[in-house]
Amino acid sequence: MHSDHSHDFDHTADIPKPQTKVIWKTFFILVALTAVEFLFAFTMDAGTLRNAIFIVLTIFKAFYIVAEFMHLKHETKALIWSVLIPMALVVWLMVALISEGSYYFDSVENYFN
Amino acid sequence: MSTSTTLEAPNSGTWDGGNEPLKASYGKLMMWFFLLSDAFTFGALLIVYGLSRHKHLPYTGDPDAFTFSTEWWPIPEKVYNAFPGLHGMDLPLAFVALMTMILILSSVTMVLAVEAGHRMDKNDVQKWLLWTILFGSIFLGCQAWEWAHFISGDDTGMVLSDGTQIFGANLTVNQYGPPLFADLFFFITGFHGTHVFSGVVLLVMIFINTVNGVYHKRGHYEMVEKVGLYWHFVDLVWVFVFTFFYLI
């Protein structure tokens, strides 16, 4: 059961040239951001500021992967929001439970010591 | 005779399956919602990691003076400092840097395969899919080594208060810190590794289909795009696992 359009692509001369500029640009941005992360990991002392820098860089990397590699930037607005809004709620849950962890640690410390 | 029930011409009426919500095909839309639900699972695991980390004492002293103890959550430079073939050398985060590069590269070769699919270039799709399978398999091998090292431990181990020494980690004892740390390591990197493995299996399947010309006859390489979405998601999860496990 060969469909009619199979022979449309049989001539290799018809294949257009690859358009890979954006792909490699995104790749170099991802590599650069990872390199910056390692730079901070080895030159800066651990602390809230360094963790904040790591999280911001991670969000940038996530943006480039989702927007360019997964092509979400070029989808309809409704699809973009139906992916982003649930994820924003997950981030909220994460912030809430991490502060809950700190509180739990503090209360256990104060209770037993 | 073919047993597949693929329609020769898709239905086109608005109430007849011709309407595409959000201007994405059924398959791609469902892949997006599957990935969203998968992101919830990974989000939950990372939330548990963050909560557990914050209810343990963070080590605030000089990193060079740090020794493994159940009292503190370990600092990553001291846990992940081994490299295959370089026994006993202190190379903090070197191996995980290599793994991260391999996974980012595999994401690039995947997106190149998708791009080749748009151009109906069967040879290029095959070439880039093979590279992606190769990088994915190397990543899995690296993770197997990482696990083996984490389980067997290093030469120093941890000295308990009664003088006994423990080496390596399992679900109940852990030379690097609180046992919960090892549990979360196995769970989160293991769950991610399972996803990479499933991804490699899917890639092998679509590679075989591409070689057999299935997508060429179908007239589009959308299946490569859908598996590509999944593969990029796996890379995305690694970006977060890498930050929260190995950097912070």
| pLDDT per residue as tens digits for the range B165-192 | 788 888 888 888 888 888 999 999 999 9
The verdict on A38 and A7 lying in the same domain is yes
The answer to which of A79-83, B36-40, B118-122, B150-154 has the lowest mean pLDDT is B150-154
- Residues B97-113 pLDDT 10s: 899 999 999 999 999 99
**Domain, as residue range, for A65:** 1-74
Query: Phi/psi zone of residue B125: left (φ > 0), alpha (ψ -120 to 50 degrees), beta?
Result: alpha
| Closest CB to B50 among A31, A86, A98 | A98
Number of structural domains in chain A: 2
| Statement to judge: residues A84 and A66 lie in one domain | no
Is the CB of A69 less than 8 angstroms away from the CB of B235? yes
How far A81 CA lies from chain B's nearest CA (Å)? Answer: 11
Pairing of strands B72-73, B57-58: parallel
Residue to mutate among B55, B103, B217, B244, with most A CBs inside 10 A, is B55
Mean pLDDT of chain A: 84
Q: Find, among B225, B238, B234, B146, the residue nearest to B196 by Cα.
A: B234
- Do A1 and A46 share a structural domain? yes
Burial B194-211 (b: 16+ CB within 10 A, else e): ebbbebbebbeebbebbe
What pLDDT, on the 0 to 100 scale, is given for residue B156? 74
Cβ-defined contact of B47 to A108 (cutoff 8 Å) = no
A3-41 pLDDT per residue, tens? 444 444 455 557 888 888 899 999 999 999 999 999 998
Whether residues A64 and A91 fall in one domain:
no
From A27, A79, A104, residue closest to B108, measured CB to CB: A27
Whether residue A70 is found in the same domain as residue A80: no
Provide ipTM, 2 decimals. Answer: 0.82
3-class state of residue B57 by DSSP: strand
**Are residue A20 and residue A65 in the same domain, yes or no?**
yes
Q: Quick one: A65 and A89 in the same domain?
A: no
Q: Binning pLDDT at 50, 70 and 90, where does residue B8 land?
A: low
Q: How confident is the model at residue B5 (pLDDT cuts 50, 70, 90)?
A: low
Q: What would be the CATH architecture of the domain defined by B24-55+94-247?
A: Up-down Bundle (1.20)
Domain co-membership, A110 together with A92:
yes
pLDDT digit string (tens) for B64-88?
Answer: 777 787 777 888 877 887 888 787 7
pLDDT at B155: 73
Task: State how far the Cα of B167 lies from the Cα of B211, in Å rounded to an integer.
Answer: 48
Distance (Å) from the alpha carbon of A25 to chain B's nearest alpha carbon? 10
Nearest CA in chain B to A9: B120
